[in-house]
């Protein structure tokens, strides 16, 4: 699966939203795998939630916008997909917790492991879907792509792994709980993502993402050409 050159913005945004819904659902499943621990970013955001008293979703949104600032400083493109991602992932998790808690937190190591693995695969496929319309990576994925471009000799999974190690350590320092699943998720998520990308024949570094101004200009030009 490759990025699309289609100028149909409704289709591109629909694909973006479906991908982000999958990412949010995968994140929720990962958070619910409490019996064995949670992922690296989830650990960091849980630590922030414990320190600030805000919900997990709101802390996810705050971290997302902080990462966007870092992305801009490193020359990353900020598109509509980046901004929607910054809000939608965290609020999807909050929505499930508040209104549709279809997967209660489990004490079973086996069920927790299954939730963790399925959540990571769902997130990986969601990333392919929402990145392929070229409307901008999510804040964390923009950072991953920017760093991967700066170190082209490194596998993108390795870049992601090093990022997640850093945020995992930050989460632990904030006092977030962690378990063997946290370590497994941190070690495996990057390679699960790389596996899903390879399975879908998707190379994130080659997607010509539009920033917000690019999308507005192209949309206006397309509208004028139809009139």
Token reading at 78: 């900020």
Q: Which residues of 7-22 are buried (b: 16+ CB within 10 A; e: fewer)?
A: eebeebbebbbebbbb
CB 133 within 8 A of CB 81: yes
Task: For the chain, give the percent of residues with pLDDT over 70.
Answer: 85
pLDDT tens string 54-111: 988 899 999 999 999 999 998 888 999 999 999 999 899 889 888 776 666 666 777 7
pLDDT tens string 175-195: 987 777 677 666 667 678 788
Question: Domain-by-domain residue ranges, the chain?
Answer: 9-220
Region 211-224 average pLDDT:
87
Where does the pLDDT of residue 3 fall: very low under 50, low under 70, confident under 90, or very high at 90 and above? very low
Checking if the pLDDT of 216 tops 60, the result is yes
Taking alpha carbons only, the member of 66, 54, 78 closest to residue 170 is 66
């Amino acid at each position: 699966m490759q990025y699309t050159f289609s100028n149909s913005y409704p289709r591109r945004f629909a694909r973006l939203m479906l991908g982000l819904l999958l990412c949010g659902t995968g994140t929720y499943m990962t958070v619910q795998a409490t019996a064995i621990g949670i992922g690296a970013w989830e650990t960091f955001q849980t630590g922030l939630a414990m320190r600030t008293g805000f919900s997990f979703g709101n802390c996810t949104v705050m971290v997302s916008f902080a990462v966007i600032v870092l992305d801009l400083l490193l020359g990353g493109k900020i598109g509509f997909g980046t901004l929607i991602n910054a809000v939608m992932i965290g609020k999807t998790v909050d929505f499930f917790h508040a209104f549709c808690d279809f997967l209660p937190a489990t004490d079973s190591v086996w069920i927790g492991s299954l939730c963790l693995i399925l959540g990571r695969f769902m997130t990986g496929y969601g990333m392919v879907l929402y990145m392929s319309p070229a409307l901008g990576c999510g804040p964390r994925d923009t950072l991953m792509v920017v760093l991967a471009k700066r170190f082209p000799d490194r596998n993108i999974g390795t870049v992601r792994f090093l990022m997640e190690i850093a945020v995992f350590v930050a989460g632990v320092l904030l006092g977030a709980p962690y378990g063997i699943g946290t370590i497994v998720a941190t070690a495996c998520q990057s390679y699960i993502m790389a596996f899903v990308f390879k399975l879908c024949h998707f190379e994130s570094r080659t997607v010509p993402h539009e920033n917000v101004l690019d999308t507005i200009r192209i949309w206006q030009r397309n509208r004028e050409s139809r009139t």
